[in-house]
Structure 1
Amino acid sequence: MPPRPSKTISTTRRWLCGALAFLALGMTAVLPLHAQVPRPLRVAWASIERANPASPYLEAFRSGMRELGYTEGKDLVIDPWWGEGTEARLAQQIDAMVRSQPDVIVAQGGLALHPLMVAQVKIPIVFGVSADPIEAKIAESFARPGGNATGMTFFALELVGKRMQIMKEALPTMKRVALLADPQHPGQHKELAAAQAAADNLGLQVSYFPVHSEAELESALADIAHARFDAILAFSDGFTQSFAGRIAEFSLQQRIPAVDGWSPFARQGNLMIYGPVLEECYRRLAVYVDKIRKGARPGDLPIELPTKVELVINLKTASRIGVTIPQALLLRADELIK
């Protein structure tokens, strides 16, 4: 009679079968976990700038995302879309941008936001703009924008008077100021009223030069030179920034100082600026993107105003146009361009 299998062998077989069954069940439990790993957050960065991966505003946004714990290439993808200097070129790319299926679009400036609004893009949009968002019909209110767009506006009327006051400190003999502004910029009439009120308080005379094209700008500059104004205050918007270099050239030729609210204006050769730190604003946009990623609706997120401002003085320009900046003002400056 053949020997009967031992109890040890039988027990071992049962144990192996059980172990294999457990492993099989474990694998079926593990695989779905891998399949459920969320895809990276995809952000489309829309700008009318020429392609510039080192853009300080894009880098500020990237920094904000890093501070929130995101890592590009791991759980974050940022796709820049550049307008190469024109709104029209950016508008041509909107269909392709939408087909790339971003979770959020970040619009750098009103000139980038406008074609997205015209195209009625439904994807959540986070913006940084200089316009009054209510007058621009971007939002229903600051507290509850409604729709699919929210973000920050640099439209801070309280800075207009302070800017003019600093101009008076820098230029004590200043009496007559030329105001350069784009009349089509939403909220521009409010800035004009704020500038007029500040001028009245400081005993200054202001004249308004509306400019919306290069030809209108050249005509205004000719009139300013002919009338020998003491200074130029350019309202901060995409138009005046795009011609900052031309205004600086005029300022040096005519020895008429020019002031604005954004730092690139001073860095391109104009006397000084006082206004929001734009890099901080674009860093702050990362918070909006993160909230939307976590389920918030753009229309429920309040539009914010800048909380950090800067004074930038171009000492090289001051020297070339014969302006001596008071020491007290130099000590308050956040940046001195030498």
Structure 2
Amino acid sequence: MGRVGRRQFLIATGALFAAPLAAEAQPAGKVPRIGVLAPDVPGPQSSRSIDAFRRGLRDLGYVEGQTITIEYRWAEGRTERFSDLAVELVRLKPVVIVTSGAPAVLAAKQATSTIPIVMAQINDPVGLGVVGSLARPAGNITGLANVHSELAGKQLELLKEADSKVSRVAVLWNPANPGAELILRHMRHASQAVGVTLQPVEIRDPSEIETGFAVMIRQRANALLLPPDPLFLPHGKQIVDLAAKNRLAAIYGWRELAESGGLMAYGPSIPDMFRRAATYVDKILKGAKPADLPVEQPTKFELVINMKTARALGLTIPQSMLLRADQVIQ
């Protein structure tokens, strides 16, 4: 599909998730406009988070097309697109921009220092220099954040609990993601505590995913941990299938990948974080400043276990683990 055609397609597809959107900057006194800078593509996976955000706004009394409008920009998992998309949104003069993930947040931060930015989710914004502290964000950015140092340790513990033979854990990571190196550092520290060897495999482009699995096998990895990254989400099913093909016990940061055939998923509920992001938007629309709104952390975590995949791998998941799961797929 040509560049113009693809752009028209994305705009048309975006209409599935939002009311019709005006093309010009918002005149004074008109309906407030919210910008959303999304890392993935319009579709079933992204719709859970977007629907949760829109539902959060509805629960707070907002009606799309009447009391608010929403402009979406989709990066399609391509980190290099964020800067241009953030600039596009800023030109539309929204009252607030909602983002998700380090590349999107940093692109929005670079594009504006005056328009409020709400992070629906990001890993370690203090370590990335996005906010001064969780309690006092400073600047024009606030929202919700993961503490990945704790999350990585829990994910590795779950892998070991599901398969006691796990000893070498491959990690796909994207060096183009500004937050990836920080996450990898947390994982290395956690792997020492859990007693496994971490084997990072660098992926810069989706075309390298299959080659990355060949590297894992050469390095004799017997498990996989896939951290959340805009590059990987649109290709999640491919990664799940390759993990199954190579008989790797794998844990993912998105529940959708366990539902698509991955062994396990553990992490914060991203839809719940998007729902809570609506509360920040509401407060900002009512006059609050981002600098005065502390950054909050996820309160709802989900463990999903796919027993069909476990049986295919010859794994017996402990009953104690199944009892802790939020969803067990048979």
- TM-score, normalization: structure 1? 0.78
Residue 238 of structure 1: SS of its match in structure 2? coil
Q: Given residue 141 of structure 1, which amino acid in structure 2 is its aligned partner?
A: S
Post-superposition offset of 1:215: 5.8
Residue among 134, 137, 142 paired with 2:126:
134
Residue among 78, 81, 90 paired with 1:98:
90
Give the aligned partner of residue 251 of structure 2. Answer: 259
What do residues 4-51 of structure 1 show as CA deviations (whole Å, max 9, x unaligned)?
xxxxxxxxxxxxxxxxxxxxxxxxxxxxxxxxxx75332122214323
Contact residue 87 and residue 115 of structure 1 kept, 8 A: no
Contact residue 106 and residue 130 of structure 2 kept, 8 A: no
Post-superposition offset of 1:130: 3.1
Contact residue 150 and residue 299 of structure 1 kept, 8 A: yes
Range with greater deviation from structure 2 (319-328 or 166-175) = 319-328
What CA distance in whole angstroms lies between the structure 2 residues aligned with 1:320 and 1:136? 40
What CA distance in whole angstroms lies between the structure 1 residues aligned with 2:71 and 2:63? 14
Residue among 42, 46, 49 paired with 1:57:
49
Unpaired segments of 5 or more residues in structure 1? 1-37
Give the aligned partner of residue 21 of structure 1. Answer: none
- Give the number of aligned pairs: 301
Percent identity of equivalent pairs = 38
Query: CA RMSD, aligned part only?
Result: 2.7
Give the aligned partner of residue 224 of structure 2. Answer: 232
Give the aligned partner of residue 32 of structure 2. Answer: 41
Residue 144 of structure 2: SS of its match in structure 1? strand
What CA distance in whole angstroms lies between the structure 1 residues aligned with 2:214 and 2:267? 27
Range with greater deviation from structure 2 (238-247 or 85-94) = 85-94
What CA distance in whole angstroms lies between the structure 2 residues aligned with 1:181 and 1:94? 24
What CA distance in whole angstroms lies between the structure 1 residues aligned with 2:89 and 2:108? 10
What CA distance in whole angstroms lies between the structure 2 residues aligned with 1:185 and 1:92? 16
Unpaired segments of 5 or more residues in structure 2? 1-28
Contact residue 76 and residue 234 of structure 2 kept, 8 A: no
Post-superposition offset of 1:197: 4.2
What CA distance in whole angstroms lies between the structure 2 residues aligned with 1:82 and 1:183? 20
Range with greater deviation from structure 2 (223-232 or 248-257) = 223-232
What do residues 82-136 of structure 1 show as CA deviations (whole Å, max 9, x unaligned)?
3345355564455553343321111133343343233336321112243322333
Give the aligned partner of residue 299 of structure 1. Answer: 291
Give the aligned partner of residue 303 of structure 2. Answer: 311
What CA distance in whole angstroms lies between the structure 2 residues aligned with 1:217 and 1:116? 28
Post-superposition offset of 1:272: 0.8
Range with greater deviation from structure 2 (236-245 or 158-167) = 236-245
- TM-score, normalization: structure 2? 0.80
Q: Larger Cα Rg: Structure 1 or Structure 2?
A: 1
Task: Kindly indicate whether residue 78 of structure 2 is the aligned counterpart of residue 78 of structure 1.
Answer: no
Post-superposition offset of 1:275: 0.8
What CA distance in whole angstroms lies between the structure 2 residues aligned with 1:123 and 1:203? 45
Give the aligned partner of residue 152 of structure 1. Answer: 144
Range with greater deviation from structure 2 (159-168 or 95-104) = 95-104
